[in-house]
Amino acid sequence: MESYVLSCCSTVDISKEWAEKRNILLAYFRFYLNEEEYRDDFYASISQEKLFERMLNGEKSKTS
């Protein structure tokens, strides 16, 4: 049997806990608010509330 690794990007529609329980490796994307870089890490580096508040207040957002 061949060995393999399951992986997916952080934009996947599953929880971090679900992926970790199944040994699925996550590739974390990056995004920017103004020029400040954040990791798309299931809201560990910035809360969902803070992210949307900053976007609604007009901060420029972009991804790679």
In a domain, 44, yes or no: yes
Q: What is the pLDDT of residues 17-49, one digit of tens each?
A: 999 999 999 999 999 999 999 999 999 999 999
Chain Cα centroid distance, residue 35: 17
2 lies in a domain?
no
How much is the pLDDT for 2? 72
CA pair distance 30, 27, nearest whole angstrom: 10
How far apart, in whole angstroms, are the C-alpha atoms of residue 9 and residue 47?
A: 19
1 is a domain residue = no
Query: Which pTM was predicted?
Result: 0.77
Domain count, the chain: 1
Most confident of 10-14, 31-35, 60-64: 31-35
Structural domain of residue 18, as residue ranges? 7-63
Q: Are 45 and 14 in contact (CB under 8 A)?
A: no
